Structure 1
Amino acid sequence: MATLQLNLPSITWPRNRPVFRSILRPVQCAAERQELFNRIAPVYDKLNDLLSLGLHRVWKRMAVSWSGAKEGDTVLDVCCGSGDLAFLLSERVGVKGKVIALDFSREQLQVAKSRQRERLKECYKNIEWVEGNAVDLPFPSSSFDAATIGYGLRNIVDRGKCLMEMSRVLKPGSKVSVLDFNKNTHPLTTSIQEWLVDNVVVPVASGYDLATEYQYLKNSIREYLTGDELEKLALESGFSAAEHFEISFGLMGNLVATR
């Protein structure tokens, strides 16, 4: 595990497969998590800025860079939320590229679509939003040149199945970049993380009447995987190589796995 301090591909879709916008798959993830992200959708972006002092934008740019996405690529963002990574991916692949952004929260997708309408860059028109299931991706195998998932894998019940699906839809040699909180093995860093959740995250969220919704965060990090465990899971899920990087003194982490 490493530590870090700080043209257009042609896809042949099955003849009877509907276009992306019409795909609505039943979501098998925990219903309460889906409900939670629906509830916080209206203030999700504002809280991200407040709680990270804007640093989440830096971490997301790092994650997109690690994905290896380049101009003209067709790329996938799973658990896209309100679209931060999808917009960054769009800028990298350009107007000749394509970004497919998937999430199980309809409300988050509505926020993402409204942000897309408000933005003027031509490349943002290449993003398509899909309501769907991260453990049952509605795409053919070997479809994408790169993929990302930001702050999503931790909230998926069957993480191995999610990574298997991402491995399936990636082309050989392509990468997935997985950004999330880091489950640190150092007691001091763990204590700092938990103190921040109790004394910063929850109090700030309470100002938006969302204290209960954000109290889940500490337990979700405790139940997540360490960097070594993520590397092992990626290899077991079909990836040929995997490396986990610790960011911001170990508070965040990014898994990079190669198909």
Structure 2
Amino acid sequence: MTDQHNPKPEQDTTHFGYKTVKTEEKQAMVADVFHSVAAKYDIMNDLMSFGVHRVWKKYTIEMSGVRVGNKVLDIAGGTGDLTKAFSKRVGPNGQVILADINESMLRVGRDKLADSGVAGNLEVVQANAEVLPFPNDFFDVVTIAFGLRNVTDKDKALAEMHRVLKPGGRLLVLEFSKPKNELLSKAYDLYSFKALPLMGKLVTQDADSYQYLAESIRKHPDQETLKGMMLNAGFARVSFHNLTGGIVAMHRGVKA
């Protein structure tokens, strides 16, 4: 039994794909997955999505409304696809922070951005989405692409994203979601649980990590549930747009 003086205790267990694990263990388990796949992450993204992930990300960038001089936080930014595009858009007087909890992913992203000649308006920060090391009301735009499903406490992370946004600032969440068509859903399941682990085994010698990724997608909240979570975190004018039949959805919310 809880009351205002004794807040509700944190749950002792959570999910890691289809497995039930201790809450405090999930972060390290997810880290192991991305340490394993970091070097081949971009190659696998192109193979798994047949290159369509680039279209999904371009749509998110367009919907962000990022302008010259803006401050942008790209959470779980990994190898820096969104970060690179935002860096060009905000110009020399803007700022883009690439944040990721995983050191291996950040290293790959930092090297890739340096090789592509990204301007000096970029900072790379190792950070946990649940405890963002940034001040209140700081960013014009926050994005998280294909990262929220790996966060242990999604509500806490969404609250942190709300905190660091300026009033009027925008959050964009690009994530795998639930296909709307039953036939598409069945085909997608077959592809996810048969083809993805096989690709992982052939390209990265790691089938288990891609089995986890397929499972993590199925455990992620559907479109309407995530919309409700964003509203609960304080966002206004929350909407979502299904991409590729709902295999992916882009959610957008504004800090009032």
Structure 1 stretch displaced more, 134-143 or 27-36 = 27-36
Paired residue secondary structure (1:183): coil
Correspondence 1:1-259 to 2 at 5 A: 30-121=27-118, 123=119, 125-184=120-179, 186-207=181-202, 208-259=204-255
- Runs of at least 4 residues of structure 1 off by over 6 A? none
Paired with 1:35 and 1:230, the residues of 2 have a C-alpha distance of 26
CA RMSD in angstroms comes to 1.6
Aligned length: 231
Paired with 1:241 and 1:28, the residues of 2 have a C-alpha distance of 35
What's the offset of the Cα at 1:186?
Answer: 4.4
Paired residue secondary structure (2:40): helix
Q: Is the 8 A contact 2:98 2:124 kept in 1?
A: yes
Q: Is the 8 A contact 1:79 1:149 kept in 2?
A: yes
> What TM-score do the two structures reach when normalised by structure 1?
0.85
Q: Is the 8 A contact 2:196 2:214 kept in 1?
A: no
Query: Which ranges in structure 1 are unaligned for 5 or more consecutive residues?
Result: 1-26
Amino acid in the other structure paired with 1:253: A
Paired with 2:74 and 2:144, the residues of 1 have a C-alpha distance of 6
Amino acid in the other structure paired with 2:62: S
> What TM-score do the two structures reach when normalised by structure 2?
0.86
The share of aligned pairs that are identical, in percent, is 35
Per-residue CA shift, 1:50-93, capped at 9, x if unaligned? 11121111111111222221111011010111111111111221
Paired with 1:88 and 1:238, the residues of 2 have a C-alpha distance of 28
What's the offset of the Cα at 1:95?
Answer: 2.0
What's the offset of the Cα at 1:101?
Answer: 1.2
Per-residue CA shift, 1:164-184, capped at 9, x if unaligned? 000000011111111111123
Higher relative contact order structure (alpha carbons within 8 Å, sequence separation ≥ 6): 1
Q: Is the 8 A contact 1:149 1:177 kept in 2?
A: yes
